[in-house]
Copies of this chain bind each other. A is one copy, B any other.
């Protein structure tokens, strides 16, 4: 199978994270700080789109809130859709860089990627002191 066309995740933290990718830095500027560039918007949109589905959001939340920070597919597959659909959504989340997966014996465990989550949080951060050097 060729993953050549797969969307590059925002973060390469999956295995042996070492260098912050360019996309990481590009994606960390709050939306309200300055207008987003084209490439930034495409990278960030991939993340938001990955969470833009109720089922994916529940799967992601289930993994993120699961004890130990990881969850077996069997633990979270009760979201009202068929098992292949669950697998499909988990793959989407993985491709978006939000989750990582690891097979241990019979089961496959998913784990959240905290750095990507934090990057998205920063994007939505409101400027408490926007860009106004107030009274000085």
Identify the A interface with B (CB < 8 A): 1-3, 31-36, 38, 41-42, 44-45, 48-58, 60-62, 64-65, 67-69, 80, 112, 114, 117-118, 120-121, 124-126, 129-132, 134
Contact = CB atoms under 8 A, between A and B. Distances in A.
Given A31-B61, A62-B35, A49 B53 contact: yes
Nearest to A120: B124
A52 B61 contact: no
Contacts of A3: 126, 130
A121 B34 CA distance: 18
6 cross-chain pairs, A with B, having the tightest CB-CB distances, nearest first: A49-B52, A32-B64, A36-B61, A52-B52, A41-B54, A48-B51
